[in-house]
Amino acid sequence: MNEFILSLSTCIHVDCLTDAIQSSLTAFQGDIQKTLLSSGEKNEIMLIKDESLDAERYMIRVTPALLSLAYADDLGAIYGLFFLSEQFLGVAPFDFWNQRILQAKAQVRIPCGEYRSRKKAVEYRGWFVNDEVMLDGWPDTEAQKTEMWQRIFETILRCGGNMVIPGTDRKDDGEQLSDLALSMGLWVSQHHTELLGARMFARAYPNITPSYHKHPELFETLWQESIDHYAGKKVIWAVGYRGQGDFAFWANEQGFDTDEARGDMIVRVMKRQMEMIRAKDASALFCTNIYGEMMDLYRAGCLPVPKEVIKIWGDNGYGKMVNRRNGNHNPRICSMPSHESGENGLYYHASFYDLQAANHTTMSPNSPQMIADELCTAIENGANVYWNINVGSIVPHLYILDLIRTLWTDGQVDVPMHAAHYAQTYAGNVSAAKLLLAYSEQPMRYGANEDDHAGDQYEHFVMRHLLRAILRGETTAPLERLQWTASADSFYGQVTQIDAICAPTLAGWDAYLAVCNAIAETLDLNGRHYVQSHITLQGRLRKTGSLALHEVCSCAQRLQDNDPLHAYLCIHRGIVALREGIAAMDAAETGDFRNYYRNECFSNMRLSLAWLETLRAHIRICHDGENAYDWERAYLFSPEDRDVWCLTHRRNQLTDEQLCNALQERGVLDVETGNNADDQLGIQAQ
C-alpha cells in the first residue's frame, strides 16, 4: 500500500507547539471532523521544525505509517496543515464565507511521496479589513465578534497570506485585534492614516491643533505608546505624516505652501519615527504609502523616501494604477511603479468607498482580466515585496479575493481557467464561471477609461444628490458635486446625462439575471445557494439600484415638464425597485450570516429608500390638493361620482402606497405623460 490513510484515528504531534500553530491545528482538526466519518488503523502526522528550510516553507514526506511535516517556522507549519486540508480534505479557503456544505467521506488516501511548498510571488501579502461596516453590524455579542475576527485571520492564512491590517479607526479594540492576529501567526501592518498604529492625535488631544510642527512632544508620546506595545513583534511599521483622516496634513496646518516644504516635513517626521522605533527594535521593517497627496509629492521629486522604507503604490480604488479621483479632480497620474529603487509594494482595492461610484456592497464592476493585468504588470515592475488588499467587509468580494490570492502565490493567472475552478469549487459546476466573468459587462459606464465602470455607490450617492436637490429646491443650477459624472451647465441637463448613463444598462441586467436564474436551476443545493446568495444577489442589487436611479431621473424630468402626477408615480416605481433589492439582501442572510447586511450603511439602500418615500410624500403634499384627495377623485372615482361635491371626502385618504397601486391598476402609469395626460385618460381633473 503506497498511501497514508487519514482518518478519525490519525494522531497529530507537534514538536514545538506555539500559539500560532495551535490555532491552525485546531482549525485543521475541525476540518477533519467535518469531512471524515470513520476511524481506521492508528497512524501519525508529525510536525517537526527544520530551520534549514527557507522562511514560511514546509516539506511533507508521506509513508503508509507516517506523514511528517517539516516546517521552517510557524507560518510554514500553518501553510502545511492548510495544504493538506485543501488538497486532500477538500476544504477551500472561502467555504465558510460562501456557506459551502462539505460532503463528508469515510477516509482520505494521501499518496506516498514528497510535497514541497514553493516561494510565494509576493513576500508580505494580506488583507486590509477597511471600511468594515457590515462586519461591525453583524455580530450580536463580544464572543461572536471575536470568533468573526478569528475566522477572518484564519481565512487570510488559508489563502497563503501572512499579513493583516485589522480594521479602521478601531479605538476600542484595535490593539486587541492586532494582538489576536499576531497570536495566530500573522504580520500586522498599519492604516495609512493611523501611522505607527498610534492613537489619533485629535482623539487623544481634542482641544489642541494636530500639528507636529507645533506639538512634536505630544505626537511622540502617542507614537511611543504604540512602539512600547509592538516593538520586537511581527509588525511592518507604517511611517509618514498625514492629517487626522484620509487627507493631507497641510489641509489643516498653516505654513506649508510648497511641495518642497510639505515633502521636507513628511520625511523629517518619517526619520524621527524610524529613530524612535529602532531604539527598541533594531531590525524593524518600515513602509509608507505613495498614495493620494504622497504620490504627487513623490512624482514631483519632493519626497525622498529613505531607501529602507517599502514604498506602497496605490490604485485609484477601481483597480487601475492611477491616482484616485478627489471630488471633480481626476488627473489620473500613473501610480504603477516602474522599477523604482528600493523595495516596492501595492495598496490595491477589491472594495472601495469614495461617495461617488465605487463598489462596497457588491464586487468590482471592472473586469477580472483588467485586475489581473494590472497586478501582473506591478509584479513585473518590482512591486512584489508588500501587497495590502483592501477587502472591505469581505463577502461581496470573495471571487476577486481568490483571484488575487492566486496572483500573490504564483505571480500569474489564467483568468477564465481560474473562474472555472472557482465556480467548480463553490457552485459545483463550471457553468457559473460565465456569470463571474460576465458580471463586469453589465454596470453602467460613466467615462471613457477602461476602469470607468460604476459600482453600487454610483446608484445611491448620485440618486441622493438628485433627491436632495429636488427636495431643497436647488434645481436652478447644476450640482457642482456631480460634475465628475455629468458636466452639463444645468441641473436638468445633468439629469439627462445621468439617465443616459443609467437607463441603457437595465435590459442588460435583466438578461444577466435571467441567465443567473437559469444556471442556478441546474445546480445542486450548494451551488444554487452560492449563485443565488452571491452572484444573483449582486446583480439584483445593481439592477434595482439602477432602476431606482432611472426613475429619479424620470421624476425630475416630469417635474420640469410640470407633470407632478407622473413624477409621483415614477418615484413609486423607484421605491418598488429598491424594496425588491433590500428584500433580496435580507433573504441572503441565512445561517451564520443572519444580520450580515444589517449595517449596510455606505451605499445605504435603506436610506435611499427613505429619501424616495420622502420625495413621493413631498410631491403629493405639493400637488394633490389641500386635502390630499384630488388625484383619487380625478382618476379613481366613477364618472357619476367625480363631479359631485356634497362632501370633500367620505373616508380616510389613501396612503401613498394605496394611491400609487390603484393608479397603476387603472393604467395611469402606462399613459404617455405630458400636460395633456388627463385628456388621454378621458378624465377632467378637478
Predicted TM-score of the model (pTM): 0.95
Are 651 and 682 a contacting pair, CB within 8 Å? no
Range of weakest confidence among 204-213, 435-444, 490-499: 204-213
The domains of the chain, with CATH numbers, are 3-116 (3.30.379.10), 124-411 (3.20.20.520), 456-681 (no CATH)
**Mean pLDDT of the region 456-464:** 99
**Mean pLDDT of the region 489-515:** 98
289-303: pLDDT as tens digits: 998 889 889 999 999
Question: Hey, what's the torsion of the CAs at 403, 405, 408, 413, to 10 degrees?
Answer: -30
Are 201 and 218 a contacting pair, CB within 8 Å? yes
Q: What is the pLDDT of residue 673?
A: 40
Q: How many alpha carbons lie under 13 Å from residue 542 in its C-beta half-sphere?
A: 35
543-594: pLDDT as tens digits: 999 999 999 999 999 999 999 999 999 999 999 999 999 999 999 999 999 9
Q: Based on C-alpha coordinates, what's the Rg of the chain?
A: 29
- Please tell me the distance from the alpha carbon of residue 314 to that of residue 318, in angstroms, as a whole number: 10
- What are the cell numbers at 84? 493538506
Range of weakest confidence among 19-23, 93-97, 330-334: 330-334
- Please tell me the distance from the alpha carbon of residue 304 to that of residue 188, in angstroms, as a whole number: 25
What phi and psi values does residue 658 have, to the nearest 5 degrees? -65, -40
Q: What is the pLDDT of residue 674?
A: 41
- What are the cell numbers at 355? 461617495
143-179: pLDDT as tens digits: 999 999 999 999 999 999 999 999 988 887 889 999 9
Give Cα separations from 583 to 93, 439, 483, 508, 573 (angstroms). Answer: 29, 21, 33, 21, 15
**Taking 60 as the threshold, does the pLDDT of residue 194 lie above it?**
yes
Q: What is the pLDDT of residue 86?
A: 98
634-662: pLDDT as tens digits: 999 988 777 777 777 778 999 999 999 99
| pLDDT category of residue 670 using cuts at 50, 70 and 90 | low
**Mean pLDDT of the region 416-438:** 98
491-497 long-range contacts (CB < 8 A, ≥24 apart) are 491/556, 492/556, 492/557, 492/560, 495/466, 495/553, 495/556, 495/557, 496/553, 496/557
- What are the cell numbers at 216? 512634536
Burial-class residue 339 by CB neighbours within 10 Å (0-12, 13-18, 19+): exposed
44-47 long-range contacts (CB < 8 A, ≥24 apart) are 44/10, 44/11, 44/12, 44/13, 45/6, 45/10, 45/11, 45/12, 45/13, 45/69, 45/84, 46/12, 46/13, 46/15, 47/12, 47/13, 47/14, 47/15, 47/21, 47/71, 47/77, 47/80, 47/81
| pLDDT category of residue 676 using cuts at 50, 70 and 90 | very low
Q: What is the pLDDT of residue 669?
A: 64
- Please tell me the distance from the alpha carbon of residue 483 to that of residue 131, in angstroms, as a whole number: 26
Are 73 and 42 a contacting pair, CB within 8 Å? no
Question: Could you tell me whether strands 44-49 and 11-14 are parallel, antiparallel, or unpaired per DSSP bridges?
Answer: parallel
- What are the cell numbers at 519? 444556471
459 vs 338, residue with greater confidence? 459
Give Cα separations from 20 to 27, 70, 185 (angstroms). Answer: 11, 16, 5
